[in-house]
Structure 1
Amino acid sequence: MQSDKHLAFVYNGNSVREQLARLVAIALQLSELELVETDRQAIYSAVIDRAEEDLLAARKRDPASRFKPLECHLSVHSAFFAVLCYRVGHVLIGAAEAPTAHVIAAMRLGFVARSLTGIDIHPEARLGRRFVIDHGYGTVIGQTVEVGDDAYLLNGIVLGGRRIGDAPNGKRHPTLGHRVQIAANSKILGPVNIGDDVIIGSDVTITEDIDAQQHVFIKRERPAIQRRSLALAARGKCEQC
């Protein structure tokens, strides 16, 4: 753990920001990147505000976390930590000519975050503000994914490509607009565009563009449930027999 002198200029006495800064310090340790003080401060400055927005959005929108202490997110919430590690990795790899050591560190951090949380976010993906993953285990976000602000994703989601191997370079993953919500186990594949305010239900696979403000879901018939008493009555019996 880095000493507190590395964090002082970031949180200025704010306990939440102090804890966020400590998480950033942990992420940097996991990346195994040696940084000079000015570079470390630049990363804190770039990450803390976005991380605080992510944290407050998760608190507001996830009903399971709404009335629990912030420490639940800051200490044990794996999905929030995966997003924070992405924020750090994205800063490391985001420069037009990022040093080789920074690229390796960003990829290493992504690997460690995936190993710890089950959530795989490529550091070169572009995720907007107030990004929330709820549960999130098994979620995969590819290299050229772009996501607008206020997205909300559940577990098992794949924002990926359609080619299995030897995919060409360039844009090959989805682009999502603002305020998109995606339920569990859905997949959006290829360089498709998903408009603003789209809601995608569970277990949906999308390979074409979706206009704004659409609700996409699989229509299911209600399962046929036959109660035991009715089944017995049909055979001329009763439950007391």
Structure 2
Amino acid sequence: MCGRLDRLTLYDGMLENLVSALNPGDISRLMPHLDGIMDSALQQATEDLQAFAERDPASCGHTELILGTYASFKAVLLHRLAHQVWLRDSLQNRTLIAHRLANVGKLQSGVEIHPATRIGRRFVLDHGFGTVIGETCEIGDDCYLLSGVTLGASGIANNPGGKRHPKLGNGVEVGAGARILGAVNIGDNVFISPACVITRDVPANTRVSIVNQLQMQRATHTSSRGFLGAFALGERLHLVGELPETGAIRVLDAEHRSLSKLILECTVQERHHRQYRMRKLGLVVPAPLYPVHLRVDGPAHNVTLLDPPGLSSLVCSVLTPTCSA
């Protein structure tokens, strides 16, 4: 457990970093706000430290080891300070002071966290070198990030102002090298595998992996990890890979609602390949929201394939022959 000694060590370390990062003028401006900044940052960092000790097996629960040697934890600690400074509207030069603190964290850890980023309780940044977290990011409680993660905007230069970075729910885990780009929403208890590139919303309680440029979302209780992919070619939908013997294949709209008026009829059934013909039942009002996704449910599968190649165009041609997705 994180005891009194750890809190005292945390407080001393935060104060030392704050003083070393700032010039005398900044410290003088900070003094009327210091107690509030330190108290809030200390409470948050204490919970972060306890979460790190509990969730990182390499630390063996030794908080003094984390405090003394883990650069990624120092980045989080400095962000807690920088963010508290950022929130003080009445503090002169608050933006400059907050960025100076954040920059110290970046130089010491290789982690760049914008001081405006809102991070929830019990945050763990493990082996965080190369991680970048953008200005308008929101991260929920009990999240865990590994190294090289980018929570960034979808563009490169000339990104618009306003909300342009991801929002992560509670209990989200993000693997090394993953990139989540744009103002997308990641639901609670989502697991994002290493090296994924996420540009669309991910619903709660799913596991995301990338195979051959297809974004796959599995229910978290699913044990199967085999390949499963889909694509539309001409007037047929093809499903390939580790296929369920029984179950349902459904088309979902952009908000993951089932398009019940679309029927998939299997025309070719092989061990690792199935082909489907798509037809509609009656009128479809209103028109679905694009892009569309494919849901595969079975004893060993609960998978959503996001925007498989050609599927939106096929659905569009079936529902309204003159439309374009």
- Shorter-chain TM-score category? 0.7 to 0.9
CA 1:171/1:30 → structure 2, altered by over 3 Å: closer, same or farther? farther
Picking from 18, 26, 30, the partner of 2:20 is: 30
When you count helix as a share of all residues, which structure comes out higher?
A: 1
- Contact 1:30/1:112, CA 8 A, preserved across alignment: no
Bigger relative contact order, structure 1 or 2, given CA contacts below 8 A and separation 6+? 1
CA 1:57/1:209 → structure 2, altered by over 3 Å: closer, same or farther? same
Give the Cα–Cα distance (whole angstroms) in 2 for the partners of residues 123 and 30 of structure 1: 18
Picking from 96, 107, 112, the partner of 1:104 is: 96
1:206, distance to aligned residue in structure 2 (A)? 0.3
How many percent identity over aligned positions?
40
Q: Supply the AA of the counterpart residue of 2:129.
A: Y
1:41, distance to aligned residue in structure 2 (A)? 1.5
Matched, 1:183 2:175: yes
Give the Cα–Cα distance (whole angstroms) in 1 for the partners of residues 116 and 33 of structure 2: 19
1:38, distance to aligned residue in structure 2 (A)? 4.3
Give the Cα–Cα distance (whole angstroms) in 2 for the partners of residues 119 and 208 of structure 1: 24
Give the Cα–Cα distance (whole angstroms) in 1 for the partners of residues 91 and 6 of structure 2: 31
| Structure 1 residue runs without a partner (length 5+) | 1-12, 223-241
Q: Supply the AA of the counterpart residue of 1:70.
A: T
1:100, distance to aligned residue in structure 2 (A)? 3.9
When you count strand as a share of all residues, which structure comes out higher?
A: 2
| Structure 2 residue runs without a partner (length 5+) | 213-225, 228-325
Give the Cα–Cα distance (whole angstroms) in 2 for the partners of residues 50 and 201 of structure 1: 27
Q: Supply the AA of the counterpart residue of 1:133.
A: L
- Contact 2:50/2:63, CA 8 A, preserved across alignment: no
Give the Cα–Cα distance (whole angstroms) in 2 for the partners of residues 30 and 168 of structure 1: 34
Indicate the larger mover: 48-57 or 36-45: 36-45
Give the Cα–Cα distance (whole angstroms) in 2 for the partners of residues 30 and 137 of structure 1: 22
**2:156 aligned partner:** 164
Picking from 44, 49, 63, the partner of 2:43 is: 49
Aligned residues: 208
Indicate the larger mover: 34-43 or 199-208: 34-43
**2:287 aligned partner:** none
1:26, distance to aligned residue in structure 2 (A)? 1.9
Determine helix, strand or coil for the equivalent of 1:211.
coil
**1:92 aligned partner:** 85
1:14, distance to aligned residue in structure 2 (A)? 2.1
Q: How does 1:48-197 map to 2 (within 5 A)?
A: 48-67=42-61, 69-95=62-88, 97-197=89-189
Give the Cα–Cα distance (whole angstroms) in 1 for the partners of residues 46 and 116 of structure 2: 21
Give the Cα–Cα distance (whole angstroms) in 2 for the partners of residues 100 and 160 of structure 1: 28
Q: Deviations over 1:97-123 (max 9, x none)?
A: 353422111101111211110000000
- Contact 2:197/2:210, CA 8 A, preserved across alignment: no
Give the Cα–Cα distance (whole angstroms) in 1 for the partners of residues 183 and 128 of structure 2: 22
Determine helix, strand or coil for the equivalent of 2:180.
strand
Determine helix, strand or coil for the equivalent of 1:162.
coil
Which is greater in Rg? 2
